[in-house]
């Protein structure tokens, strides 16, 4: 799926609703922005799983 969008004066781009719905991106979702050749990739940051969170906090606290 491709959509043509414009970059605003502050460098902001609106992610179309159809793409947000498919990817699960909602307001305040953290996203990772990366460059792959001449492509800009935007993907949601996956939340930590509960087991990983428990391991990390018990190991490093």
What letter would DSSP give residue 12? -
- Asked if residue 26 is part of any domain, the answer here is yes
- The pLDDT assigned to 40 comes to 94
Which tokens hold the place of 41?
A: 């990739």
Res 56: pLDDT:
67
Give the residue among 47, 38, 3 at the shortest CA–CA distance from 21.
3
- Which pLDDT score is estimated for 50? 57
Helix spans in 1-61 (H):
17-23, 50-60
Low pLDDT (below 70) residues in the chain: 47-56, 61
Q: Which among 49, 21, 47 is positioned nearest to 32, based on CA atoms?
A: 47
Round to whole Å and give the CA distance between 14 and 6: 8
pTM tops 0.85: no
Domain extent at residue 40: 17-60
Strand partners, 15: none
pLDDT score, position 60: 73
Instruction: Tell whether 11 is covered by a domain.
Output: no
10 found inside a domain: no
In the chain, the number of structural domains is: 1
23, part of any domain: yes
Assess if residue 9 is contained within a domain: no
């Amino acid at each position: 799926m491709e959509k043509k969008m414009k970059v605003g004066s502050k460098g902001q781009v609106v992610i179309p609703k159809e793409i947000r719905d498919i990817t699960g991106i909602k307001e305040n979702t953290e996203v990772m922005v990366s460059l792959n050749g001449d492509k800009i990739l935007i993907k949601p940051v996956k939340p930590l799983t509960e087991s990983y969170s428990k391991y990390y906090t018990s190991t490093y606290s």
